[in-house]
Structure 1
């Protein structure tokens, strides 16, 4: 009688299948459209996504944007976006989990781990389901494209159509405006081919650190939720890092200096990427997007009309603090471009050492001085 000596499958800290299925089941339906309307919208978005690359090239002055065809363009629905992001999370986190299995096997042999992985998967799925109705587009550099060395560019068609109807703006103008932002992200990673590995390594280090403290994460997450409630009862006021306590959200679970330093760096990078994309998308004039000023004004005003439930969820997830960081990123890019020109700013893509720190995002002149860039008179 032979004995099965194969190793038992490793327990999962996150049940990715549960995350994907939960997200798909909870994702709200999009706007009602006929098959013909859907086909026309998808074709229009594909054409505008292709056309936007040339505009990004003209505004950003990045050679990487010249006839860029390294990525896969996907026009997706909300459920597909949720599943794709569950896959992306898994791609980012699995190396950290493998390292954890080698260095802290005790964490991965807990009797409660399977139940915890199911619960965490369901929680992640619920978060993705919530976000699936908010995200207009996304460039994912971490999951390889089937078309080349780049990642996946996703446009979430139901959300784009819902927002353009809500804002009562020209559909083609709005779709091109969205494509400009997402294609800029694609160009950023093409201009800085080292950036993907740089971010992957830092995300992996942060994930490894957090997972290494898995036994206390649930307690800290509970404390973060309580801080939101107490912050709301106290009213406005800032914490020690300048972030209002009711908006710090799950970010407040980070306790160790090493974790905070990693998050600070990733925050600066994300602020840079989002700020640059915002500057590019708003760099078009009326000859390219005739109603761009109206779109931006109405889009910004839309964020002020969120309901109470959505505001609480956004605070829990730290999304409002994140949006402030993106605004700071736009200010950084505009200041640097105003002082050194776009070619001067583009030094940021040359190496990881040229990335701004979180402090420099808020004080761009310090980055200009560090880079020894000449200021315009």
Structure 2
């Protein structure tokens, strides 16, 4: 399925990148063009639809996203920023390209900051250039394989990173073939399901659009962690050896903190703490979006209870191969973020209401700490006294 709508959607979703010195520097380490090609080739087109059916899906998703903005802002008690760019309805390949551009924009400044100083007394040899080229292509192919796996599963995404350094707003992406595939798998009303998906993604757009500091904060934290990893190649090699030793336990799910992915095993204790703070923020964002979408649901999605029940069961009922891949990629941890964050949001709202919860959006100091995600009363006590 090719969900294009019109050529501007394809171009906007696939365009971007940092350009300049940052863009050229990061290409030295990752072949991003190859990553996009691999992801597009392996991701597949999705379910087969006629041209007319594709146009109908694209139009309905655009309309559903636009109509979701008001109810989401009303339920969350957050004023909606105006104007908000329209959602981009894309296919799998365009979603992968958008995320390649996001990685390029995120990592470009990091690579420039951490690049080792060349040795003026040593000339670059043909072997050096060949080794670099092979490494770039290998890393690009690995990134493309990862994105191809995700491109067939992601329903929607708020793109935080693309264009942030140029002052462009974040982009809301809706992956049409995956929405159609899941609504068919769940055997739910397609019109209700499309509205339900848009409620969740519009909640993310509201979180970042109404609070611009949050987008910068998440970007800076992600870049800071990436800089630490790239600046410690020797330590990284030692941690990689630990990954290989721990791989059987990861596959069985018996590693301490079951469900962590390979990336988690590459972190030092200090980096784990930094990651924990970032995960707490992501848990807040995902849980808040889930609570808002379900609270809005009955107003605009008559079958929301059925959709939620079947969607939750689908998360539990995946095949063994898919479960292994999700564990290795850390996606099981992503699923837990929804549940942990939702419990935090509901706990805070029960104690101090939506207005009390919305203090969380006023600055970095008010964001929940890792321990507070599991103990909303602790956050209330710290922030509200």
Is structure 2 residue 259 aligned with structure 1 residue 250?
no
Counterparts of 2:305 and 2:295, CA distance in 1: 11
Counterparts of 2:74 and 2:340, CA distance in 1: 24
TM-score, structure 1 length as denominator?
0.88
Residues 15, 137 of structure 1: CA spacing in aligned structure 2 closer, same or farther, 3 A cutoff?
A: same
Q: SS of the counterpart of 2:357?
A: helix
Match of 1:5 in 2: none
Structure 1 spans left out of the alignment, 5+ residues = 1-8
Structure 1 residue 266: Cα displacement: 1.0
Match of 2:378 in 1: 366
Preserved contact between residue 105 and residue 163 of structure 2 (Cα < 8 Å): no
Structure 1 residue 315: Cα displacement: 1.0
Is structure 2 residue 197 aligned with structure 1 residue 174?
no
Structure 2 spans left out of the alignment, 5+ residues = 1-23
Counterparts of 1:180 and 1:169, CA distance in 2: 16
| Deviations, residues 325-348 of structure 1 (Å, cap 9, x unaligned) | 231111111100111100110001
Match of 2:150 in 1: 131
Counterparts of 1:195 and 1:135, CA distance in 2: 23
Match of 1:154 in 2: 173
| Deviations, residues 153-208 of structure 1 (Å, cap 9, x unaligned) | 00000000000111111111111110011011110012211111111111111111
Identify which of 283, 289, 295 aligns with 1:277.
289
Identify which of 184, 192, 198 aligns with 2:217.
198
Match of 1:92 in 2: 106
Preserved contact between residue 200 and residue 293 of structure 2 (Cα < 8 Å): yes
Preserved contact between residue 92 and residue 142 of structure 1 (Cα < 8 Å): yes
Number of residues of Structure 1 aligned to a counterpart in Structure 2: 351
| Deviations, residues 269-293 of structure 1 (Å, cap 9, x unaligned) | 1111111001101112433210000
Is structure 2 residue 37 aligned with structure 1 residue 21?
yes
Match of 2:3 in 1: none
Match of 2:8 in 1: none
Preserved contact between residue 221 and residue 250 of structure 1 (Cα < 8 Å): no
Structure 1 residue 322: Cα displacement: 2.2
Counterparts of 1:215 and 1:225, CA distance in 2: 16
Q: SS of the counterpart of 1:71?
A: coil
Structure 1 residue 255: Cα displacement: 1.5
**Farther-moved stretch of structure 1 (351-360 vs 125-134):** 351-360
Question: What CA RMSD, in Å, does the superposition of the two structures yield over aligned residues?
Answer: 2.1
Preserved contact between residue 224 and residue 249 of structure 1 (Cα < 8 Å): yes
Match of 2:299 in 1: 287
Counterparts of 1:199 and 1:276, CA distance in 2: 16
Match of 2:343 in 1: 331
Q: SS of the counterpart of 2:146?
A: helix
Preserved contact between residue 62 and residue 86 of structure 2 (Cα < 8 Å): no
Structure 1 residue 249: Cα displacement: 2.9
**Farther-moved stretch of structure 1 (43-52 vs 300-309):** 300-309
TM-score, structure 2 length as denominator?
0.86
Residues 321, 285 of structure 1: CA spacing in aligned structure 2 closer, same or farther, 3 A cutoff?
A: closer
